[in-house]
Structure 1
Amino acid sequence: MSICNICRDDKPCIEQYVIPEVLCGYYYINTVCETCYENVIASVDRLLISHKLIQYKIDQLKHQIDSPLLLDIYDEEEYTNKETDSDEFQFSNSLIMKLCKRHDISLHNEIWKEERVTKVAGSIQRELLLDNRKYKMSLLKMAYLFAVHTIDGYFHDPDAIVISNILSNIDFIELKDRNIVRDLSKSSLWNTLNTDCENHYFILLSGKDGLFCFIRLFDVFDVVVHLSKKSYNLPSPIVGVNDAINQVFYKKSLKEYMNGLFKPTNGIQS
């Protein structure tokens, strides 16, 4: 028996993905029970996966993905409308994104769900619903589990207990009220780290205001998760990288990661 990181009960735990497999996730843990996986993890991950921008990214990466979750999603009625596979529909996806950027409508804090797709006089008409919080539950789950598996003692932090309760109860109201997950669409942090648009990145950073996890998911979401008001004595910020090319997840100190960006080449030694 082991303690489930979500419900905190002594239960048999199973291996599962921290980053959804359908998003080319290669980060696995075995500290979540099967009940929480079925009732919590799969549920909140689906909300992220159904985000319009994530769907657009998945379409670009279909040839790289072999996931039952992908098949489940695309088997559902809302994703099997024959119009959704047409060139015209795909063009409308890109047009929506361009229009939103032109009018400064944030794409980072909205989940897009198709309500109705119809074809009138040879043209596609689309009605969309927006929800400004649900996809953030999945990002909170990723940040929380990354911290639990990286920082000794964090699991017993009072704020960690609050977060695990939010996840266990899938409590969107509490998540919104606490404002734990915040957008970083204007951050220059990721340019400094020379990130790749096909990868996912995590950075754990502790300072006077507490413990934070910065997440970049593909080149779609940039968020910061306030994990604790308590400061942790980290020798260096910790970077986690989901490397899509090498199909591996690894952790390094920020110093080690930055040194790797500037490795000597052509036989030149530093």
Structure 2
Amino acid sequence: MQTCIICRKKKADFNDEHVIPDSIQGYYHINTVCTDCNSRMGSAIDNKLINHKFIEFQRFLFNIKGKSGSIPNPFSGTHHLVDNPDRKVVLEIDGKGNLSPRLLPIVPNFKKEPIVDSFIIQVDKKDEGHLDEIIDKIILRNGIDKQRLTSTKIEREIDPYISITLNIDTQDFKVGMLKMAYEFAVDNIPEYFNDELARTISKILYKGDFQDLVKKVLFFGSGFDKEILAPFQNLISFEKKNHYLILLSTKHGLICIINLFNILSIGIRLSNSTKYLKNDLLVGKNDLDDHSFKIFNTRELIEFTFTEMSFGFEYYFSDDQSRMEFELFSNENILSHYHDDGHIAFYNSSGQIVYRSLLDKLESLSSRSLGDTINEMTSEYDLDEELYIKLLPQNKLYRVIKVFASRYRINKL
């Protein structure tokens, strides 16, 4: 028996839960939602999201089939021609996955006609093969004497302008986004499960209570603007057809930012507390090309998007001769750092290692940021003790008073 993260009851039956719905190619799975809650949320919550018109557009464009095996038609329903509002038309998906218009038949109304010896019907060319069936149905329905009729066929090509009205959901889809954010947070921050707002959110998801959703959960952005993504634009490639979940701690508390297909983007406050993810963030990337979901913390995100750290130093020289000797070798580009087991070490004046890696020392110091922070991240550190590094080819110790640690951006997630 384990506790379901939605109903918060001890249950025995659990199955695979897609944090990001399978119908939009979500590859992030958890096993902490009971079978009953999984089934209920699929119909009451996930469907609100995957049937959103903007999501249907993306599924159509990227040829993403649903559980039924079909591609959604974002233009389903009956529309009309711009220059003839009485002429009805539907848009269908053909065998190649393209949208294709089809005019609906126009048949006469014979209620005021005592005797019918002719009538006109209009059908789309796609229905030409069914013309006889359509005529027979009209004759049978209206009791027309077929012997009195003669047929004439007229073909006319038109290039219609179609008037389409779409209803865009601006609220109900948010519960699907909330479900993803909550499950992502509980799965990666175990202590969050007992948070006060986490309990409220699980209750909303369990009951499908859309009124409480609006009253008790704070959303940042409408879901259709990109401003909330601005702080991450230099690290994350939102323009690609992927999904991203971002957890971070802010002055507002624990926030989850969600981006789907780079179409729907929203921020959600999951907790009023700032104790979660201090000095860190978590980025989940759902890659539609690689069919994978990977999670990156701050360090992993920087390592993926920036070069390895390189170091520069400001030295202290006790006399002019030492300075001139250093500058001579430095100008000839023959100086290099001595590495001990792959690391630049800090030594004392006697040549004994004080810090096996200079990072061991830098982690204890405050720093100042230099560079543009977009394409270059450079931190400046003032050393608070007398430390040396060893330089080749002289194999000589030089005292360091400042360290510059730099990374340069080479990639986006």
TM-score by length of structure 1 reads: 0.76
Counterpart for residue 8 of structure 2: 8
| CA–CA separation in structure 1 for the residues paired with 2:15 and 2:29 | 10
Secondary structure of the equivalent of 2:164? strand
Q: 1:7 to 1:233 in 2, by over 3 A?
A: closer
Q: 1:243 to 1:122 in 2, by over 3 A?
A: closer
Q: Equivalent residues in 2 for 1:97-176 (5 A)?
A: 122-176=160-214
Counterpart for residue 283 of structure 2: 239
Q: 1:131 to 1:87 in 2, by over 3 A?
A: closer
Report whether the alignment pairs 1:51 with 2:52: yes
| CA–CA separation in structure 1 for the residues paired with 2:50 and 2:183 | 18
Secondary structure of the equivalent of 1:192? coil
Opposite residue 258 of structure 1, the aligned amino acid is I
Q: Out of 260, 264, 269, which is 1:221 matched to?
A: 264
Q: Which has the larger radius of gyration?
A: 2
Secondary structure of the equivalent of 2:91? helix
1:109-167 Cα offsets, whole Å, 9 max, x none, are xxxxxxxxxxxx94433333343210000000000000000112111111000000111
| CA–CA separation in structure 1 for the residues paired with 2:61 and 2:270 | 32
Counterpart for residue 28 of structure 1: 29
| CA–CA separation in structure 2 for the residues paired with 1:162 and 1:154 | 12
Q: Out of 231, 237, 244, which is 1:195 matched to?
A: 237
On the 8 A contact 1:16/1:29 being kept in 2, the answer is yes
Q: 1:162 to 1:69 in 2, by over 3 A?
A: farther
1:158-187 Cα offsets, whole Å, 9 max, x none, are 100000011111111111123422225323
On the 8 A contact 1:147/1:154 being kept in 2, the answer is yes
1:25-57 Cα offsets, whole Å, 9 max, x none, are 100011111111111234211111111111111
Opposite residue 131 of structure 1, the aligned amino acid is D
Tell me how large the CA RMSD over aligned residues is: 2.8
On the 8 A contact 2:197/2:270 being kept in 1, the answer is yes
| CA–CA separation in structure 2 for the residues paired with 1:87 and 1:13 | 40
Identity %: 32
Secondary structure of the equivalent of 2:185? helix
Total equivalences in the alignment: 231
Opposite residue 239 of structure 1, the aligned amino acid is V
Counterpart for residue 111 of structure 1: none
Tell me how far 1:222 sits from its aligned partner: 1.4
Secondary structure of the equivalent of 1:241? strand
Opposite residue 302 of structure 2, the aligned amino acid is M
Tell me how far 1:16 sits from its aligned partner: 1.8
| CA–CA separation in structure 1 for the residues paired with 2:92 and 2:217 | 34
Give unpaired runs (5+ residues) of structure 1: 90-120, 265-269
Counterpart for residue 103 of structure 1: none
Secondary structure of the equivalent of 2:8? coil
1:73-94 Cα offsets, whole Å, 9 max, x none, are 67xx869x952436467xxxxx
On the 8 A contact 1:207/1:232 being kept in 2, the answer is no
Counterpart for residue 218 of structure 2: 180
1:212-254 Cα offsets, whole Å, 9 max, x none, are 1111111101111100101224241111111222211111112
Tell me how far 1:67 sits from its aligned partner: 4.4
Give unpaired runs (5+ residues) of structure 2: 79-88, 102-158, 309-406, 408-413
Counterpart for residue 306 of structure 2: 262
Counterpart for residue 267 of structure 1: none
| CA–CA separation in structure 2 for the residues paired with 1:151 and 1:47 | 27
Q: 1:222 to 1:194 in 2, by over 3 A?
A: same
| CA–CA separation in structure 2 for the residues paired with 1:142 and 1:5 | 12
Opposite residue 10 of structure 1, the aligned amino acid is K
TM-score by length of structure 2 reads: 0.51
Secondary structure of the equivalent of 2:227? coil
Tell me how far 1:59 sits from its aligned partner: 1.0
Tell me how far 1:208 sits from its aligned partner: 3.3
Q: 1:9 to 1:238 in 2, by over 3 A?
A: same
Secondary structure of the equivalent of 2:286? strand
On the 8 A contact 1:22/1:70 being kept in 2, the answer is no
| CA–CA separation in structure 2 for the residues paired with 1:49 and 1:162 | 24
Counterpart for residue 208 of structure 1: 251
Tell me how far 1:13 sits from its aligned partner: 1.1
| CA–CA separation in structure 2 for the residues paired with 1:73 and 1:44 | 18
Opposite residue 2 of structure 1, the aligned amino acid is Q
